[in-house]
């Protein structure tokens, strides 16, 4: 007998091929008073042992419903209408409750977005963790404690024995998420469902958690179902990805195939919405997907994406496409996928941007805003009963920036580094403790209530969360009209027309005039927020994370809108964001803040290339890039931002700096003792660091593109 063995290096070939999770034609509906809402329809995918499979999509597309369906946590009104969910070959649909409870407890674990909701605030972490083992597996308390400490060590928790004694609120968000992950792994699950586990975390913490997930997946052979809206995160953690749209999977393949050669028009659209690291507004344009996701109760009769698709034809309106295989291991739900992929995409008319219209910033002009040595301290309650010594949280400590007219200054940094306090000080919501603030030659170190109304008019703000900044009981028209009346921008009889003009400018239109905030989507609310901010035609608009809460396609539209406003009105902007690709795309100058101070400031392109401040380098290496062909250097910061109550001596970054040991003599002792000098790299690019510029220049770029 002759057998062709073939050489194989994969030693797993002989193991069972049963997928850990196989979902077949799953449909889930929610019963409501007005009838059934088909939230998820015809979803199929499978996850093999030790594989990370992502489900990506915008909010409301049914990602979480699928995850809840798998563990049958659908709530009272949700039910699985049809389909099968095979967990290790066993059907979970219709499985007896008792058996399902065992499987859920022992073999499937879940990690959700907000770790605080998964932890009991009134129990010590150690008690919560050991409970999993003592109650479920009948292990003795002492032994259970030992296992928990080991597991905390495995998720790189500093000082695990001590953490066991603390309450959830006493550790940071990243650490809380580690505790939740450690708890999930205690039972050695075959399947780990993670629903946006890093969305609430800072980029640096997120990067560490993502590294951890990848490592655990290797070590424990756990299959991971990873749900996220962030294309960058998905590219980093997973090997396969399914793109969901309005309750259906529209494309499914390996990460490389989906990102580099998407077939479905929706996936292609998503890829055009996200700024890649290195793109800027003068050389490229973001193309938002027109329209919005249809509601599950009112789906189009044909292809669900047809109303927003640039390629829609008659057949798309009549017939619903099936998810079909286009290439080996690449599925898409589109009638004309092959043709579309060949045709290439040209922006529809009216969307072709006029990039030249973006005025160059006049560098020589007098700056419109001058902030010099500003300090904003918050008084902290002293711990001693009798003392005269006052303690301060140094939220902003000696910051100097200048902003030219018409330019956009980006401010980036981890949470708690003072970005928002700086902006609040400028707008007058916080009183500066010391320093000078000058705006168009006028002193603005007074709080807003004591400022001249003319200055208030010239300085406006767009907030992160449009929900909490719009008054729910006033109509859109009234809210946008208010600054117009207050600042007397237009005569009172023209306010109505002006509001409509503004609504048109926001691409909302007159019909939005009488709507209430609750009748608007997130993106629309943010547009109203922007309209209200620019109603008084301010010189300077401060944007505090204006797009972080929005979906990518909406984010692209809002960014374009802000750009158009800048083009038309020549508005100057200060733009806070944690997404470094967005900041790079949108801003001319960027300031990197760390613990109340600016660590590096300069033109956008200079910040993203060596020489870097070691902190900037770490931030750039942490940012998830939605492009699997890009290679990133692996620089990770240890620990969290130190307390601003008691900042480290010398260079504030020295406690976490990965570079000082290797690039400075004496292991960087100088950083602990002396405040670093500003190193000038020319063209306004300055770095606050002890390491000389020549050394910093020798650092390799963090991001390299391989194979174009």
Residue 185 vs 237, nearer CB to other proteins: 185
Residue 105 vs 367, nearer CB to other proteins: 105
Q: Candidates 3-11, 354-362, 370-378, 504-512: pick the segment binding other proteins (CB under 8 A).
A: 3-11
Residue 188 vs 683, nearer CB to other proteins: 188
Segment 623 to 642, residues that bind other proteins, using CB under 8 A: none
**Identified binder of other proteins from the candidate list 1, 3, 9, 386, rule CB under 8 A:** 9
C-beta pairs of 469-475 under 8 Å, 24+ apart in sequence: 469/529, 470/517, 470/525, 470/528, 470/529, 471/517, 472/516, 472/517, 472/518, 473/516, 474/516, 475/513, 475/514, 475/515, 475/516
Helices assigned H by DSSP within 544-630: 552-569, 580-586, 604-607, 614-622
**Identified binder of other proteins from the candidate list 147, 380, 429, 500, rule CB under 8 A:** 147
Q: In the bound complex, what is the minimum distance in angstroms from residue 131's beta carbon to other proteins? A: 13
Q: Could you tell me which of 228, 250, 245 has the C-alpha nearest to residue 296?
A: 245
Copy the structure tokens of residue 391.
């303690």
CA 545/CA 543 separation, integer angstroms: 6
Residue 136 vs 485, nearer CB to other proteins: 136
3-state class (DSSP) for residue 387: coil
CA 29/CA 62 separation, integer angstroms: 10
Segment 26 to 85, residues that bind other proteins, using CB under 8 A: 49-50
Q: Candidates 9-17, 118-126, 457-465, 605-613: pick the segment binding other proteins (CB under 8 A).
A: 9-17
> How deeply is 425 buried, as exposed, middle or buried, from its count of CB atoms within 10 A (0-12, 13-18, 19+)?
buried
User: Phi first, then psi: what are they for 321, rounded to 5°?
Assistant: -75, 150
3-state class (DSSP) for residue 322: coil
Beta strands in 231-300 (DSSP E): 240-245, 248-254
Query: Side-chain half-sphere of 343: how many Cα atoms within 13 Å?
Result: 14
3-state class (DSSP) for residue 576: strand
15 binding other proteins? (CB under 8 A): yes
- How many CB atoms neighbour CB 497 within 10 A? 10
Q: Candidates 71-79, 137-145, 385-393, 495-503: pick the segment binding other proteins (CB under 8 A).
A: 137-145
Q: Candidates 86-94, 241-249, 315-323, 518-526: pick the segment binding other proteins (CB under 8 A).
A: 86-94
Q: In the bound complex, what is the minimum distance in angstroms from residue 11's beta carbon to other proteins? A: 6
256 binding other proteins? (CB under 8 A): no
**Identified binder of other proteins from the candidate list 105, 153, 307, 522, rule CB under 8 A:** 105
**Identified binder of other proteins from the candidate list 30, 156, 167, 220, rule CB under 8 A:** 220
Residue 222 vs 553, nearer CB to other proteins: 222
Q: Candidates 23-31, 138-146, 208-216, 302-310: pick the segment binding other proteins (CB under 8 A).
A: 138-146
- How many CB atoms neighbour CB 593 within 10 A? 23
**Identified binder of other proteins from the candidate list 99, 215, 315, 362, rule CB under 8 A:** 99
Q: Candidates 87-95, 373-381, 660-668, 669-677: pick the segment binding other proteins (CB under 8 A).
A: 87-95
215 binding other proteins? (CB under 8 A): no
**Identified binder of other proteins from the candidate list 102, 324, 485, 486, rule CB under 8 A:** 102
Helices assigned H by DSSP within 401-464: 419-427, 453-458
7 binding other proteins? (CB under 8 A): yes
Q: In the bound complex, what is the minimum distance in angstroms from residue 128's beta carbon to other proteins? A: 17
How many binding residues for other proteins (CB under 8 A)? 34
Q: In the bound complex, what is the minimum distance in angstroms from residue 16's beta carbon to other proteins? A: 6
**Identified binder of other proteins from the candidate list 35, 75, 138, 472, rule CB under 8 A:** 138
Residue 128 vs 469, nearer CB to other proteins: 128
Q: In the bound complex, what is the minimum distance in angstroms from residue 56's beta carbon to other proteins? A: 25
Q: In the bound complex, what is the minimum distance in angstroms from residue 52's beta carbon to other proteins? A: 15
Whether residue 182 contacts residue 155, with contact meaning beta carbons closer than 8 Å, is answered with yes
Residue 11 vs 283, nearer CB to other proteins: 11
CA 660/CA 672 separation, integer angstroms: 10
**Identified binder of other proteins from the candidate list 25, 32, 90, 519, rule CB under 8 A:** 90
Segment 512 to 531, residues that bind other proteins, using CB under 8 A: none
222 binding other proteins? (CB under 8 A): yes
Q: In the bound complex, what is the minimum distance in angstroms from residue 53's beta carbon to other proteins? A: 15
89 binding other proteins? (CB under 8 A): yes
Number of residues in the chain: 708
Whether residue 574 contacts residue 422, with contact meaning beta carbons closer than 8 Å, is answered with no
Q: Could you tell me which of 191, 336, 338, 334 has the C-alpha nearest to residue 249?
A: 334
3-state class (DSSP) for residue 396: strand
Q: Specify which residues 111 forms β-bridges with.
A: 194
**Identified binder of other proteins from the candidate list 30, 36, 93, 107, rule CB under 8 A:** 107
Residue 49 vs 166, nearer CB to other proteins: 49
DSSP-derived pairing of the beta strands 330-332 and 391-403: unpaired
Beta strands in 113-268 (DSSP E): 191-195, 223-228, 240-245, 248-254
Q: Specify which residues 137 forms β-bridges with.
A: none
- Binding pattern for the stretch 174-213 against other proteins, x by CB under 8 A and - elsewhere: -------------xx-x-----------------------
Residues that bind other proteins (CB under 8 A): 7-9, 11, 13-18, 20, 49-50, 88-90, 99, 102, 105-107, 136-139, 143, 147, 187-188, 190, 220-223
């Amino acid at each position: 007998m002759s057998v062709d063995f073939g050489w194989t290096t994969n030693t797993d070939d002989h193991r069972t091929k049963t997928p850990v999770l196989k979902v077949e034609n799953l449909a889930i509906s929610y019963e409501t008073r007005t009838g059934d809402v088909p939230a998820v329809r015809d979803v199929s995918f499978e996850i093999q042992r030790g594989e990370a499979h992502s489900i990506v999509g915008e909010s409301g597309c049914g990602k979480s419903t699928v995850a809840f369906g798998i563990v049958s946590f659908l709530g009272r009104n949700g039910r699985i209408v049809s389909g099968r969910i095979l967990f290790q070959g066993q059907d979970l649909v219709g499985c007896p409750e008792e058996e399902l409870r065992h499987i859920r407890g022992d073999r499937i674990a879940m990690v959700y977005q907000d770790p605080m909701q998964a932890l009991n605030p009134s129990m010590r972490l150690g008690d919560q963790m050991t409970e999993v083992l003592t109650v479920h597996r009948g292990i003795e308390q002492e032994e259970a404690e030992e296992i928990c400490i080991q597991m905390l060590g495995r998720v790189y928790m500093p000082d695990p024995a001590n953490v066991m004694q603390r309450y959830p609120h006493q550790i940071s968000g990243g650490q809380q998420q580690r505790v939740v992950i450690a708890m999930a792994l205690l039972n050695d699950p075959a399947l780990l469902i993670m629903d946006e586990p890093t969305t609430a975390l800072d980029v640096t913490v997120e990067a560490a958690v993502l590294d951890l997930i990848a490592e655990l997946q290797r070590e424990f052979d756990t299959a991971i179902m990873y749900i996220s809206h962030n294309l960058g995160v998905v590219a980093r953690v997973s090997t396969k990805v399914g793109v969901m749209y309005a309750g259906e999977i529209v494309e499914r393949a390996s990460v490389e195939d989906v990102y580099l050669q998407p077939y479905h028009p929706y996936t292609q659209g998503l890829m055009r919405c996200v700024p890649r690291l290195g793109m800027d507004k003068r050389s490229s344009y973001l193309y938002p997907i027109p329209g919005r996701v249809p509601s599950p109760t009112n789906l189009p009769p044909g292809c669900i994406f047809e109303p927003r698709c640039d390629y829609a034809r008659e057949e798309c309106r009549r017939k619903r496409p099936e998810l079909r295989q286009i290439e080996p291991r690449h599925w898409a739900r589109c009638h004309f996928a092959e043709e579309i992929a060949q045709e290439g995409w040209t922006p529809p008319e009216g969307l072709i941007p006029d990039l030249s219209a973006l005025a160059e910033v006049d560098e020589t002009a007098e700056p419109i805003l001058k902030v010099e040595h500003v300090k904003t301290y918050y008084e902290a309650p002293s711990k001693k009963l009798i003392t005269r010594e006052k303690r301060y949280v140094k939220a902003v400590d000696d910051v100097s920036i200048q902003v030219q007219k018409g330019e956009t200054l980006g401010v980036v940094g981890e949470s708690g580094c003072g970005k928002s306090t700086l902006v609040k000080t400028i707008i007058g919501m916080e009183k500066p403790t010391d320093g000078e603030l000058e705006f168009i030659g006028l002193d603005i170190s007074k709080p807003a209530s004591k400022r001249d109304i003319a200055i208030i008019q010239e300085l406006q703000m767009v907030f992160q969360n449009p929900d909490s900044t719009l008054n729910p009981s006033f109509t859109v028209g009234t809210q946008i009209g208010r600054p117009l009346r207050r600042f007397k921008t237009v005569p009172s009889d023209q306010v109505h027309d002006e509001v409509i003009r503004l609504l048109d400018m926001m691409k909302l239109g007159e019909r939005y005039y009488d709507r209430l905030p609750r009748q608007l989507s997130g993106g629309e609310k943010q547009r109203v927020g922007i309209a209200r901010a620019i109603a008084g035609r301010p010189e300077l608009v401060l944007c505090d994370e204006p797009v972080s809460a929005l979906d990518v396609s909406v984010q692209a539209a809002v960014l374009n809108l802000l750009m158009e406003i800048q083009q038309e009105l020549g508005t100057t902007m200060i733009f806070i964001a944690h997404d470094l690709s967005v900041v790079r795309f949108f801003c001319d100058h960027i300031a990197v803040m760390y613990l109340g101070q600016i660590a590096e400031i300069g033109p956008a392109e200079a910040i993203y290339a060596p020489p870097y401040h070691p902190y900037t380098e770490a931030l750039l290496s942490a940012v998830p890039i939605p492009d699997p062909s890009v290679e990133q250097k692996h620089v990770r910061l240890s620990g969290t931002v130190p307390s601003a109550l008691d900042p480290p001596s010398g260079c504030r970054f020295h406690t976490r700096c990965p570079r000082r040991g290797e690039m400075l003599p004496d292991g960087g002792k100088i950083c602990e003792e002396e405040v670093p000098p500003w190193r000038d790299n020319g063209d306004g690019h300055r770095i606050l660091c002890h390491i000389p510029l020549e050394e910093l220049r020798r650092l390799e770029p963090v991001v390299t593109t391989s194979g174009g």
